[in-house]
Chain A
Amino acid sequence: MHPVRRQRLGVVVSIVVFSTIAVGLVAYALRGNINLFYPPAEVAAGKAPVDTQIRVGGMVVEGSVDRSDDSLEVSFLVTDFTANVGIVYDGILPDLFAEGEGVVASGQLSRSAGGGYVLMASEILAKHDENYMPPEVAEALNKDPTAALNP
């Protein structure tokens, strides 16, 4: 084969091979590793899937944070001022977690004894500083971040 053609063939083959690998990996990784955000209202209305990794966010309801005395388990309610969803988490909360502040929890939804939904959270993200509100939360709270900060 002509050297220039052979060279082009090499280029084309390697690009095809690696992009195939990449596309395959992307497709594989996207199946289970992305998760969708639901505001509390949609969760309460039963629109969110159970036993699937999702994210739920809103404001932490004042006075709802309940810590266990002998473990790190903590439970609280988040609200978008339409509905509340209970969140249960076993671990250390981020520094900026506080009542009346925005929070996003990711985890799996399960039905509680009372018929409502509880999110068993594996990760809690609080806002990053006092001026900042996660965009999903801001949008869930009537699309007005300033109103959400001072309800």
Chain B
Amino acid sequence: MTAELGHFALIIALVLAGLLSVVPLWGSWSRHMAAMRLAPSLAFGVTLFLSISFACLAHAFLTDDFSVKVVASNSNSLLPAMYKFSALWGNHEGSLLLWVLILSFWMSAVALFSSGLPTPVLARVLAIMGAVAVGFLSFSLFTSNPFERLLPATPADGQDLNPLLQDPGLIIHPPLLYMGYVGFSVAFAFAVAALLGGRLDAAWARWSRPWTNAAWGFLSLGIMLGSWWAYYELGWGGWWFWDPVENASFMPWLAGTALVHSLAVTEKRGLFKSWTVLLALAAFSLSLLGTFLVRSGVLTSVHAFAADPERGLFILVFLVIVIGGSLTLYALRVPAVKSVVSFSLVSRETLLLVNNVVFLVATLTVLFGTLFPLLMDALGQGKYSVGAPYFNAVFLPLMSSLVPFMGLGPISRWRDDSVHRWRSRVALPALLVVACALLLPWLSGQTFNLWVSLAVLCSLWVVFGMVDDLRSRKRPGVTWRLLLRRQPASYWGMVLAHSGFAAVVISVVATTQYSVERDLRMAPGMSETLAGYEFVFDRVERERGPNYLADVAYFRVFAASEAVDSRTVDADPIAALKAEKRRYFASGSLMTEAAIAATAFRDLYVAMGEPVGDDGAWAIRLHYKPMVRWMWLGAVAMGLGAFLTVADRRYRTVRSRQVATAAGYHGSPA
């Protein structure tokens, strides 16, 4: 019964979304106030009925209602309750429902927090989002209904959730990622609304900026969680695979990064308007493209749930309508919104422009690499695969070309600056940075490595740029404490996000360069030395989990010098590790659970392969991974930094007034 209720609620949500996409838009043209004012209520209505629908599906999962098809094929009565719940989005139909639910949350949030927005603008923004919701709701209802029943042949038990997805990280990874993906629909709706209304000014940038930053923050966290999950769950210690679906989430992130920065210029200086709008359209279009790539099964990937040509076609058509429609609108309307303000070549605007160009070019190279196999296949040139070497060779040099500008960005001035001033400002930081780059890798006790040294150089350059900037803000008579408190939230957000980026740069390079990895055959009682650590393989035991049976390998790790007498004297091990090989009952599939001993500066990683030979030996994978944590911590810092900018006071106080001065300059930084 609940399933039918959910289905019915989904249909009502579609009807409401249909009304939302038409009535307020019509109202904004015919200046019909009541029609425009209807938009927020309709948005809340869509959210309400989608929540009901979602709750019904969750109920079916939690109560093991195997007469519902998605429950039967993705859950099992032995599954722990939290995985029953997350199994809801561990499949195509359910994840799509989550997608629209989150879209409706963003819609309601816009309706709630944008009371200062002029009524026609709000009406248009919500109507555009409503139209996107119509697209996805009809996709859900007509091609992938989550409430489809298996009657009368109801199975006795479900087929279980894919064991790879039975993990706490995977409970929150999809919702966060979708928050980011779908969040760009707000920036998109603001851009389209501005094109429709023909008004594109600093006020517009100020309205859409916090939403864009928030979406970008969620996307950063979502991608980071995915990477972290892959690291500990896939059992071979990699953290980024350039898998097509990873790229699908990475491209909107790259375009979104460019957007976040160009919005800063548009808000502060009224420049780059048409460019910003184009980026807003691009970021959301790439989100949709990502959804298409994932959901249509055209690409080989861990994330491809099912290959159904009908579904693929539907999203493709939807994609063409959204991208084609918005670009046409852009072409028609954008000549009217050209900016006339000028800036000199040596200025913060130029530096942010460089940021934009680099991120856009990076997006395009990733897009090219991702679509190349599809293109060649469509042309009948054979089945190619483009792997990590291509992306590394293209992407890393591009990103590193960004760093010199990134250090200069915060210390530079808007509008007009002088090379002379830059030179005098950066001389000291540059010297310090070079000194640190030479010393730090050496002090860390590792052999000198040019790449690590360069990475340290790059990250410290970014950090010192910010420190120097803060120092220059200090006026005589202002204490440090007051200075720090006086900086607005958006400033700290920038500092946090840029520091996070610096941490990611160091981590990626240090991990890649200094990691030691060994696959070998080990029997219980044997030990192996790796990067100064002695891994002692104690025993294997068989243990039972809620829905699986596991072979558990017990390891102890000692510092290599003590290891010789450790087994007799029983010295304290640095770490005790417990790696698992699980066989899940329902599907019979095998899963590796890696064991990781982590500190701030290194991870020790053990994963089991398969049993080898007759003496109880196993194929064992040992890793030593320095600095790997910094990558995820850095990504978290980036995400939190973005959220911090949203908390900036000027978005709350200014929103009620309608500031429309294009070149309005406020003392705070971007």
Contact = CB atoms under 8 A, between A and B. Distances in A.
Interface of A: 3-4, 6-7, 9-11, 14-15, 18-19, 21-22, 25-26, 28-30, 32-37, 55, 67, 69-72, 91-93, 95-96, 106, 128-132, 134-136, 139
B353 A14 contact: yes
Contact of B385 (A3, A37, A128): A37
Contacts of B362: 22
Contacts of A136: 300, 383
B372 A71 contact: no
Contacts of A70: 521, 613
A4 B342 contact: yes
Interface string B362-375: 10110010001000
Contacts, number: 130
B587 A128 contact: no
Nearest to B387: A33
A72 B521 CA distance: 6
A10 B300 contact: no
A77 B302 CA distance: 24
Interface string B510-527: 000000000111000000
Given A69-B613, A92-B236, 9 more contacts: A3-B343, A22-B365, A33-B393, A67-B612, A72-B609, A106-B385, A129-B587, A131-B306, A135-B307
Given A29-B394, A72-B612, A129 B357 contact: no
A45 B397 CA distance: 41
Interface string B608-622: 011011100001010
A46 to B, nearest CB: 16
A95 B589 CA distance: 8
Nearest to B161: A129
B530 interface: no
25 contacts: A4-B342, A6-B344, A7-B343, A9-B345, A21-B361, A21-B397, A21-B398, A33-B387, A33-B389, A34-B386, A35-B384, A36-B382, A37-B382, A55-B383, A55-B385, A69-B612, A69-B614, A70-B521, A72-B519, A72-B609, A96-B589, A96-B590, A130-B588, A135-B300, A136-B300
A33 B353 contact: no
Contacts of B372: 34
A42 B621 CA distance: 34
Given A55-B385, A72-B521, A135-B307, A130 B365 contact: no
Contacts of A128: 162, 164, 301-302, 304
A128 B235 CA distance: 14
A26 B385 contact: no
Given A72-B612, A95-B589, A129 B164 contact: yes
A146 to B, nearest CB: 12
B592 interface: yes
Given A18-B358, A72-B612, A132-B304, A95 B591 contact: yes
A29 B521 contact: no
A109 B192 CA distance: 53
Contacts of A34: 372, 384-387, 390
A118 B306 CA distance: 32
Kindly list the 3 A-B residue pairs having the minimum CB-CB distance in the complex, ordered from nearest.
Answer: A92-B609, A37-B383, A29-B393
A96 B584 CA distance: 12
Nearest to A13: B345
A95 B591 CA distance: 6
Contact of A92 (B344, B391, B519, B591): B519
B350 interface: yes
Given A10-B350, A19-B361, A36-B382, A91 B519 contact: yes
Contacts of B591: 95
Contacts of B365: 22, 25-26
Interface string B587-608: 1111110000000000000010
A28 B393 contact: yes
A50 B307 CA distance: 33
A139 B380 CA distance: 14
Contact of B357 (A15, A35, A91, A131): A15
Contacts of A135: 297, 300, 307
B401 interface: yes
A93 B389 contact: no
Given A19-B361, A35-B384, A93 B609 contact: yes
Contacts of B590: 95-96
Contacts of A132: 304
A18 B401 CA distance: 9
B354 interface: yes
A92 B342 contact: no
Contact of B521 (A3, A30, A71, A130): A71
Contacts of A106: 385
B364 A22 contact: yes
A72 B401 CA distance: 42
Contacts of B342: 3-4, 7
Contacts of A139: 383
B300 A92 contact: no
Contacts of A96: 589-590
B73 to A, nearest CB: 8
Contact of A21 (B162, B387, B389, B401): B401
A130 B519 contact: no
A96 B590 CA distance: 7
A23 B345 CA distance: 25
Contacts of A19: 361
A139 to B, nearest CB: 8
